[in-house]
Structure 1
Amino acid sequence: MLLVGLGIFGYSLRNVKLSSLLRDLANLRWQWFIIALVCICMYLILESLVVKTFMADRLSSFTFKDAVRVPLIEQLFNGITPFSTGGQPAQLIAMLQSGVDAGQASSVLLMKFVVYQAMIVVSFIISLLIGFHYIAEKLQALSLLVIFGFLVHFTVIVGLLMIMYWHSFTKKVVNLCIAPGKWFMSADRFVKMKLNLDTKIDSFYQESLKIKSEGVKMLRVCLLTICQLAFYYLIPYFIMRSLGVTGLNLVMVTSLHILIVMIISLFPIPGGAGGAEYSFSVLFSSFIGTNSKLVLAMILWRLLTYYFGMFAGMFALMIKPDKKI
């Protein structure tokens, strides 16, 4: 992924004079860039607080250091797997290394995922109302991706809510949807798949009962998660300020970044490589006057939102958890 990233950066710089890029970098207003760096750090710290909040009454020996390892390792494995599929199992292994029971760890990660998805959908709805018309005018193809991305995330949260509140009905719907699978696989394989799905739905339903019984804790986690996302979504604004870009609309820039994140989630390449850089360049080109500044802004944004987490995750892998025997 590092080689892919270097290739994309090199391609983006093909029409940029090195002297212009170095001049923009030399004139960088570091105070604004440091704020952007603080934002990504706060994003990771707040996610650590979410994990710690869930674990507070489950395992007293689970320290904040153990909690910090979880999102950092998640960032690494999200960044190197298609559709960020490696993040969840990597978090589970990190919690097992800290002495957390597998069932408790799965429960915590499940609740964390539900809250995160819900807050993402809320953020997307707000950003669609504010910034979608801009994308529709700027590039119609991106607007279609945004709609599709929103539908994917919305379907996920609706599916989770259906399991939580209409458990039996959801099982019937799922079984109906997988029924055509009988035509393409052996009977034994189909039965195993059906039993596996039923088990997962039942497991999630049991965990959802715990979620509904911990209202105060869930409210606290929701507030932490929305603050976490806010810090992440603000990063492009501070990067552009560090490059001397003025007259920016904070709400519009933040809304566009939310929509970019939605688009990235649709690309099967790890980290949305290629699609992320292209989306950023297209949507923020009207805010940044010169091509060299636009490319530099894209590189700085990618370094903070993607590579910073990956390297932090590599470092977290080398740190031993505070496991108590």
Structure 2
Amino acid sequence: MSRKNWLALIAMLLIGGGIVIYSLRTVNLRLLVQDFFTLNWWWMLVALACICLYLILEGVVVKIFMNNRHADFTWKDALRLPPIEQLFNGITPFSTGGQPAQLVAMLQCGVDGGLASSVLLMKFVVFQAMIVINFLISLLIGFHFIAEKLHALSLLVLLGFIIHLAVIVGLLLVMYWYNFTKRALNLLIKPCAWFMKPERYERLRISLNEKVDTFYEESLRMKEEYGKLAKVCLVTLCQLFFYYAIPYFIMLALGVHGMNFIMVISLHVLIFMIISLFPIPGGAGGAEYSFSVLFASFIGSGTKLVLAMILWRLLTYYFGMLAGMVALFIKPDKIKHEN
């Protein structure tokens, strides 16, 4: 990690600490400690297992994509990528750092840059598509609830959905209307030339066109591998399910019962959509606020609500970054290239 990345990590830890301190201002600390020590740790272990499975299944997706490209791309290297993605997503605005960090990690394994970019792009496409599908289902189940509780933030949920949907539509256009999409892209970025130096604009244009070409070439391959694509979609759906289920098990650990499992998952899907719109890394502030407001109806105690929010953030945000720091120190295996 660069010095800039370390500073970003420290800043996010400080911001997180500040949010926790602010959340504790109206809480009886004695009761909080008591609630912590009376947690059902078996349910907490289930919640921990969920976030671990979330990371592991993303590694499975990478391995599935790499199997017929490089059979000697190891499980260790596949499982190393998701934590690294979590770390760099967690310290960059709008989670923009995860893709480049994964690319570097794959290059360290000896994977060709073009192939690595293609695999990561297809993984991203499938992930986005499954998020949109989950969101549509959750919208039908829980949007009335979020509209009552969050009011104006419900508009952010819809905006988040529109952005994710636009990404998917854009990628589908590349797959099926390549020439039109490429011309449209070059037309859309022309206004950038008004604000950028000519050489920088040219680098941007070339980079975007190369990404479109790479994705189109990979999409041609994937169109012939429906079985693999279906398998990746199924694994990604399972991956997201385990992530979305985490608040349910945290609340069980706190002794909260009588919850509707589907509703809890649906609300977590909507929170995920809100987080993606906040420019601060990790959606800091917005994530905690959304969780506290939406799940207050399930958790009657204000102390337990704050504790649930803290445990949720530790698992869904800080755990991934910690795992990413460990992954950075794991030496990658090198694939063997045929002469």
Given the two structures, how large is their TM-score scaled by the length of structure 2?
0.92
Alpha-carbon distance in structure 2 between the residues aligned to 1:110 and 1:179: 24
Of 188-197 and 275-284, deviating more is 188-197
**Counterpart pick for 2:148 among 115, 132, 137:** 137
Residue 332 of structure 2 aligns with which residue? 321
Of 100-109 and 63-72, deviating more is 100-109
CA pair 248-85 structure 1, distance change in 2 beyond 3 A: same
Residue 290 of structure 2 aligns with which residue? 279
Whether 1:117 aligns to 2:128 is yes
Whether 1:104 aligns to 2:115 is yes
Structure 1 counterpart of 2:333, one-letter code: D
Whether 1:82 aligns to 2:103 is no
Residue 239 of structure 1 aligns with which residue? 250
Whether 1:171 aligns to 2:185 is no
> Any idea what the Cα deviations from partners look like across 1:80-108, whole Å, max 9, x if unmatched?
11111110011111111122121221111
Whether 1:154 aligns to 2:168 is no
Alpha-carbon distance in structure 1 between the residues aligned to 2:205 and 2:327: 37
> Any idea what the Cα deviations from partners look like across 1:48-106, whole Å, max 9, x if unmatched?
11111111111122111111101011111111111111100111111111221212211
Residue 207 of structure 2 aligns with which residue? 196
Residue 7 of structure 2 aligns with which residue? none
Alpha-carbon distance in structure 1 between the residues aligned to 2:141 and 2:232: 26
Structure 1 counterpart of 2:80, one-letter code: R
Structure 2 counterpart of 1:320, one-letter code: K
Tell me the percent identity. 68
Tell me the CA shift for residue 178 of structure 1: 2.5
CA pair 64-183 structure 1, distance change in 2 beyond 3 A: closer
**Counterpart pick for 2:69 among 54, 58, 81:** 58
CA pair 192-44 structure 1, distance change in 2 beyond 3 A: closer
Tell me the CA shift for residue 2 of structure 1: 1.1
Structure 1 counterpart of 2:296, one-letter code: S
- Aligned length, in residue pairs: 325
Alpha-carbon distance in structure 2 between the residues aligned to 1:61 and 1:194: 35
Tell me the CA shift for residue 192 of structure 1: 4.5
Alpha-carbon distance in structure 1 between the residues aligned to 2:304 and 2:229: 42
Of 37-46 and 208-217, deviating more is 208-217
Q: How is 1:20-35 mapped onto 2 (pairs within 5 angstroms)? A: 20-35=31-46
Alpha-carbon distance in structure 2 between the residues aligned to 1:214 and 1:43: 24
> Any idea what the Cα deviations from partners look like across 1:125-155, whole Å, max 9, x if unmatched?
1111110010111121111110010001000
Alpha-carbon distance in structure 2 between the residues aligned to 1:75 and 1:181: 30
Alpha-carbon distance in structure 2 between the residues aligned to 1:320 and 1:20: 44
**Counterpart pick for 1:221 among 213, 224, 232:** 232
Tell me the CA shift for residue 172 of structure 1: 2.5
Structure 2 counterpart of 1:288, one-letter code: I
Tell me the CA shift for residue 186 of structure 1: 5.2
Whether 1:48 aligns to 2:59 is yes
Q: CA RMSD in A?
A: 1.4
Given the two structures, how large is their TM-score scaled by the length of structure 1?
0.96
CA pair 252-86 structure 1, distance change in 2 beyond 3 A: same
Tell me the CA shift for residue 265 of structure 1: 0.4
Contact (CA 8 Å) 2:157, 2:274: kept in 1 or not? yes
Residue 305 of structure 1 aligns with which residue? 316
Of 183-192 and 11-20, deviating more is 183-192
Contact (CA 8 Å) 2:175, 2:219: kept in 1 or not? yes
Of 36-45 and 189-198, deviating more is 189-198
